[in-house]
Amino acid sequence: MPTLNTQVAIIGAGPSGLLLGQLLTKQGISNIILERVSGEYVLGRIRAGILEQGLVDLMREAGASERMDKEGEAHDGFEIAVNGKRTHINLQELTGGKTVMCYGQTEITRDLMAAREKARLQTYYEASDVELQNVKSDSPSVSFQYQGETYQLACDYIVGCDGYHGVSRKTIPEHVRTEFERVYPFGWLGLLSDTPPVAEELIYCKSERGFALASRRSTTRSRYYLQVPLTDSVEDWSDDAFWDELKMRLPNESAAKLVTGPSLEKSIAPLRSFVCEPMQYGKLFLVGDAAHIVPPTGAKGLNLAASDVATLTKILTRVYCDNDPACIEQYSAIALRRVWHGERFSWWLSSMLHNFGETAVSEIDNKTFERFMSSELEYYLANEEGLKVIANQYVGLPYEELY
């Protein structure tokens, strides 16, 4: 049986795993990544588009920012349109100079993959049957199947960056784990197309027909989303049907300018708020979607993954460079504080901007909940203080330092 050795075993080569691998390598900490699918498959997933400054800085620190710095778009603001009435959220003015960057998760992943390959770091793609062993002991390990052979990877720490459906979280015994979950009664149907985007900034649209988002990837590539019932499947939506529905949800002036074209990709993502506590168990850490999921409305998912990576990099650097192994106990509390802020913000924006229709929401009846949320949105959009509350959370809260 082939055996391998490293300081940190990372499960999952999504953006969390790849970014962590780069940052640890910069600190001289060795790491091996195990990924269930092929690199090509990972790059086929179309997901996030908006990066907070914290993530932009980490990409620079990781030495993988060259293309992002050239091609990423700085966005000073975005719009919220309520039944066609638009409010501009000027992030720069409302936050004292902060902005976000529009650059796709696919590109982030591609850049990190290229940096890892260039540094000749070990990644096992299409590794199956990954199993975490002895995570509570001083000699944890991971076994996996690769090209027909069983491998054993010995390490000091294991980091679960394997997303919501991964194996790492489930290694924490059920009696130790608390999971918080809210499943929303709708999903987002996303469409990617090589058409000029309808606007320079994102437009989040609340309408009686449901939520829509006009986003973008570049001056020639658009990304749009529609709120759809969970019972819908992608096959129910021809490109024409998508464009027709989008026009009805966008403000009239935007609908009139919308350039349509064939889809490059179409997929439906269910909306979920989910947190697993704690995020550390013995020598195992959970990072990103493995520990928490947010609905995409606040653009927080990948950004929360990045703040987990930042915290864990600081912790492992202290463990190895300052010989302070006890500091790993700080990880869960620091990461979870920021995660819950992101969870609350995404839930809040999602609740205000979607149409819940006949679906049960809480102990409050639907009609009343809808009114509460509409009124809440109106209140925040009507005054500068309210806009500041939205803007400061959208650009992202600061990262917490270790103590």
Strands (E), 207-256: 212-216, 222-229
Smallest separation, CB 190 to ligand PHB (Å): 7
Q: How far is CA 247 from the centre of its chain?
A: 27
- Asked if 300 is an active-site residue, the reply is yes
Decide if residue 104 touches ligand RFL (CB under 6 A). Answer: no
- Asked if 224 is an active-site residue, the reply is no
* Residues near 372 by beta carbon (within 8 Å), at least 6 away in sequence: 364
Query: Considering only CA atoms, which of 250, 210, 183 is closest in space to residue 357?
Result: 210
Decide if residue 160 touches ligand RFL (CB under 6 A). Answer: no
* Two structure tokens written together for 312: 């864990």
Cis peptide before 278 (omega within 30 of 0): yes
Using CA atoms, how far residue 22 sits from 5, 19, 71, 283, 288, in Å, is 18, 5, 21, 20, 16
Smallest separation, CB 9 to ligand PHB (Å): 30
Q: Are strands 100-102 and 73-75 parallel, antiparallel or unpaired?
A: antiparallel
- Asked if 136 is an active-site residue, the reply is no
Decide if residue 15 touches ligand RFL (CB under 6 A). Answer: yes
Decide if residue 12 touches ligand RFL (CB under 6 A). Answer: yes
Which one, 35 or 245, has the nearer CB to ligand RFL? 35
Q: How far is CA 9 from the centre of its chain?
A: 22
Which one, 49 or 160, has the nearer CB to ligand PHB? 49
- Asked if 118 is an active-site residue, the reply is no
Residue 297 near which of ligand RFL, ligand PHB, none (CB within 5-8 Å, type-dependent): ligand PHB
Specify burial of residue 44 (Cβ count, 10 A radius: 0-12, 13-18, 19+). Answer: exposed
Q: Residues in contact with ligand RFL, total (CB under 6 A)?
A: 36
Which residues in this chain contact ligand PHB in the complex, by CB under 6 A?
48-50, 202, 215, 223, 296-297, 299
Residue 223 near which of ligand PHB, ligand RFL, none (CB within 5-8 Å, type-dependent): ligand PHB
Smallest separation, CB 131 to ligand RFL (Å): 9
Place of tokens 């990972």: 42
Helices 15-26 and 53-61: angle between axes, nearest 10 degrees: 50
Which one, 104 or 282, has the nearer CB to ligand PHB? 104
Q: Which of 15, 140, 295, 296 is catalytic?
A: 296
Smallest separation, CB 376 to ligand PHB (Å): 19
Q: How far apart are CA 109 and CA 44, in angstroms?
A: 10
CB 91 within 8 A of CB 99: yes
- Asked if 151 is an active-site residue, the reply is no
The set of catalytic residues is: 75, 204, 296, 300, 394
Positions that interact with ligand RFL (CB under 6 A): 11-17, 34-37, 42, 47-50, 105, 130, 161-163, 165-167, 188, 190, 269, 288-289, 296, 299-303, 305
